[in-house]
Every structure is written in structure tokens, then in C-alpha cells.
Amino acid sequence: MRTQVGIVGAGPAGLTLARLLEVAGIESVVIENRDRDYVERRIRAGVLEQGTVELLREAGVAERLDREGIVHHGIHLQFDGERHHVPLSELADGRSITIYGQTEVVKALIAARLASGLPLLFEVDGVSVHDLDTERPRIRFAHEGAQLELECDAIAGCDGFHGVCRPSIPSGVLRSFEREYPFGWLGILAQVAPSIDELVYAHHESGFALLSLRSPELSRYYVQCRPDEDIGEWSDERIWEELQLRTGLAGWTLDEGPILEKGVTGMRSFVAEPMRYGRLYLAGDAAHIVPPTGAKGLNLAVSDVRILAEALVAWYSTGSTTGLDGYSDACLRRIWRAEHFSWWMTSMLHKLGDDPFDAQLQLSQLRYVTSSYAAARSLAENYVGLTTL
């Protein structure tokens, strides 16, 4: 088998790249080791930056997003028993965010790929990548009982943090930067109308909590927990109790409903540089991870593949490698900004330990961002996505 671009991983990065290449008339094959149902149901991100929405629209996969996505112009920060509104759009030159599940983005991209009759292989096994520093890199894998080899001009490693592409780069090439946090998030999807008009990020002495949503009937709520928390110890009653405690306010009620899904996510910051080795290009979580507090992971994945697609299009149409040579640096500017913002939001909002000095610093910072125009504007422009990087 032969293709122009071999794409490993059918998450947001791989599927968006495949779509952008299709629009530009470049061939690709996408391979994914999970089944379609699993990929479409994996509940993760919920906040799309305006730039992400615009890109999906240009790629022709935003019809339902435009109908069902919920545009938000602000968020709330809650601390010290008070809820403060941060008017994002007012602070960030009219830009907004859209609440729309990653699952729905992925479903639209898969449907578009299959409707175009282009190769997207699920449930592949034993993926490995070879000859990365030659002009004919290859991907080997098994599919439906057959052992296959795909010869490519370039390979896009879009296989997430635990994928095979990054570890296939010879040792000594990559430099990694990492931070693990001593906490995680317990997230639920509940069948109940959201009790909030905009997201609430709550700092509380018992730990952080986040109120988000997926639709007018579905709420997505999180509480800070241990990274290795045993979900079995969290009955639905205990989860609601903790949410009520951490987000409660006089005169406001958090409505409860059946919990449809619950899970624990650990939190880390991670960057591997450069995002290229020979003809292998890493994109999305395969190259970098942010803690979810800044809502940046999916948006970064989309922004990487926008840059990669543009570079590949230039290469195929003019033979110029300038875009591909600059790919890693171009992505890393935005990635490091998002790394800093996500670390900063995480450090400001989570219970870090029992040191009262830390808690006082957090409260001071929260008071500052909710009272100073300059500080609020800085939060806002990062949250909606910087356009200058």
C-alpha cells in the first residue's frame, strides 16, 4: 500500500489533519487501534476556541456544531464564598468560546471521512513506524487478519500521549519537559439541565470544582481528587455532596440528576521537542499534554494540524520545505503559551496541600484577576485563544 501522508491515530488531531488534506487534494490513510464506537464515545474536552470553530467550519464539518454548539461570552471564578464573572468577550476583543463536546467533533469528522469514501481503518493492531529518516517512511500494522505495510511520503504521529510514534524516535533526539500534579479530576456526565449559564471554576478549601455542560439537558461536572482515586469509593451521593459543598452559594441551587458516566483523569504537563524527526511529524497529545484547567488540549491539537496541513500543502504544490522545517517551532510558540496558562490556572485553583501560605497566595491572585482589568484581560485572551502567536 502507498499513500502520501500516513496518519496514526483517529483522535481530533489525526481526523482533522485528514480532512484538511482531503480538502487540499492530498491523499492520506488514517489508522486507529480502537473501534469506531470507542473513539466516538470517549468523553473529553468541551470548550472550543473561536479559531478551532472557524477551522472546522472552513473544513466543512461544522454544520451541527453551528446548530448545537453553545456560544459563551464569559466564565465565572468562584472563591471565598463569592462568584465573580469574567466577561471574556468584552475583555478579549469580542472573541468567544463554544461549548461543544469533543465526541461530537470526532463524530462529524469520522462521518465526513467515510462519506468521502477515504481510508480510515479502525481496530488495527501492532502498529510500528520505520525508515523515518528516509524519503519513504513506512507504517506496519495488522488489519482484519492481514499484515500490511503502508509506504508514505510523510507520517503524522497523531496517536496521543500513549501512542507509538513518539517512542519510535531514536533516543537523544527529543528533549522532554514534564510536570505531574499530585491530584486528578473526577468527572461526571449528568442527565440534568446545567444549573449555570456559563462555566464555573471554583476554588474551595476542600478542593477545586468545575461546572460545565454539554447541552441544555446534559451537565458535565468535575471535582478535584487524588490522581489514583478509586472511583469505586465515589457513590453518586458522595459526588453530589462534594459538588454541592465546593460550588454552593446562598440563593443558588445545583440541581442533581442521574449520573450517566464517571471517570478519573490524572493531570500532567508535558512537552517533547522538536515535534519532528525526519519525515515523522508529531501533533496533538502525541507531543504535548496540558492539565485540563485551561481547556487547551483539543484546541492545541487542532492548531498543530492546521500548521502541519499548510506546510504539507506548500511542499506538494511548490516543493518548498520551509513550512515543514519550521513546523515544530511554529507550533511550540503556541504550545508553551498554553502550557504556561494551563499550569497557572491549575496552580491558582486547586488545593495544593495543607500550607495556608499557598492558599493565601491563590486567593490574592483570584482577587486580582477578578478586580484588575489588566489581569482579567490577560486571563481572557489566553482562555479564548491568543491570535498573535
Pull the grid cell for residue 52: 478551532
CA distance linking residue 203 with residue 66, whole number of Å: 32
72 in active site:
yes
Return the residue of 137, 292, 323, 385 that touches ligand PHB, per CB under 6 A.
292
Give 3-state DSSP helix, strand, coil % of the chain, rounded to 5: 40, 30, 35
Return the residue of 220, 246, 334, 351 that touches ligand PHB, per CB under 6 A.
220
Q: What b-and-e string marks burial along 302-322, b requiring 16 or more CB atoms within 10 Å of the CB?
A: bbbbbbbbbbbbebbeeeeee
Return the residue of 6, 69, 160, 207 that touches ligand FAD, per CB under 6 A.
160
Q: Is 100 helix (H, G, I), strand (E, B) or coil?
A: coil
β-pairing, 209-215 with 218-225? antiparallel
Q: Does 295 bind ligand PHB (CB under 6 A)?
A: yes
Q: Does 346 bind ligand PHB (CB under 6 A)?
A: no
Q: How far is the CB of 47 from ligand PHB (least distance, A)?
A: 5
Q: Which residue, 3 or 342, has its beta carbon nearer to ligand PHB? A: 342
Catalytic one among 76, 137, 194, 201?
201
Given ligand FAD, ligand PHB, none, residue 323, with its beta carbon under 5 to 8 Å by kind, binds none
Are the C-beta atoms of residues 40 and 19 closer than 8 Å to each other?
no
Pattern 26-45, ligand FAD, x by CB under 6 A: -----xxxx----x----xx
Are the C-beta atoms of residues 61 and 48 closer than 8 Å to each other?
no
CA distance linking residue 345 with residue 365, whole number of Å: 10
Q: Which residue, 39 or 196, has its beta carbon nearer to ligand PHB? A: 196
Q: How far is the CB of 43 from ligand PHB (least distance, A)?
A: 8
Q: How far is the CB of 215 from ligand FAD (least distance, A)?
A: 15
368 in active site:
no
CA distances from 83 to 253, 367, 370 (A): 13, 11, 10
Q: How far is the CB of 99 from ligand PHB (least distance, A)?
A: 7
Catalytic one among 76, 181, 292, 351?
292
Return the residue of 50, 299, 346, 382 that touches ligand FAD, per CB under 6 A.
299
Footprint on residues 20-59 left by ligand PHB (CB under 6 A): 45-47
Q: What b-and-e string marks burial along 354-365, b requiring 16 or more CB atoms within 10 Å of the CB?
A: eeeeebeebeeb
143 in active site:
no
Given ligand FAD, ligand PHB, none, residue 18, with its beta carbon under 5 to 8 Å by kind, binds none
CA distance linking residue 250 with residue 206, whole number of Å: 18
Q: Does 349 bind ligand FAD (CB under 6 A)?
A: no
- Whose cell is 491572585? That residue is 365
Positions annotated as catalytic residues are: 72, 201, 292, 296, 383
